[in-house]
Amino acid sequence: MNSTAVTLCFLLRDEAAGTHVLLGTKKTGFGVGKIVGLGGHVEPGESDAEAACREVFEEAGIVVREHDLRVAGLIEFVFPARPEWNMSTSLFTARRWTGDPVESQEIIPEWFPVTSLPLARMWQDAEHWLPLALGEGAVDAVIILNDDNETVASAEYSLRGV
């Protein structure tokens, strides 16, 4: 299966009200209007971790160093109706970074409590894997989308390292 290499990085911070995660409302391109994780395509010659750090900086102005990333899983997104959209997505979390999130041309960043993620405003698949990825282990999943390229036909996942 051919798929595009993509990364997502979730910044986590502990507050009095519990752990919060930085997500963003997509302003342009694929998924416009949805709340998404920070991330994007892995460029040629770039590692997944390098791409995650670059994307967080481009989308929210925050500097994350590779050694501060924690591997949070791997999601294979399969679009039977649009196979050119298939993505192999490496997930990372980070609890250390430099800077405060700022809006970019692509993303309006916003902190959300991990215990009440805005799943209704996200891609439908997020409910299957995002809470697991934000935990202590890592999630490996295969998400197959329906022909509408939005709703989930099937989701298979497993946890490792818990």
Q: What are the pLDDT digits (tens) for 100-112?
A: 999 999 999 999 9
pLDDT tops 70 at residue 162: no
Give SS3 for 55.
Answer: helix
For the chain, where are the alpha helices, taking DSSP H only? 48-60, 126-133
Which two three-digit tokens encode residue 126? Answer: 């997020």
Is the CB of residue 141 less than 8 Å from the CB of residue 76? Answer: yes
| pTM as predicted | 0.94
Which two three-digit tokens encode residue 23? Answer: 């997500």
CATH number of 4-160: 3.90.79.10
Segment holding 26, helix H or strand E: strand 18-26
pLDDT tops 80 at residue 46: yes
Q: Where along the chain do its domains lie?
A: 4-160
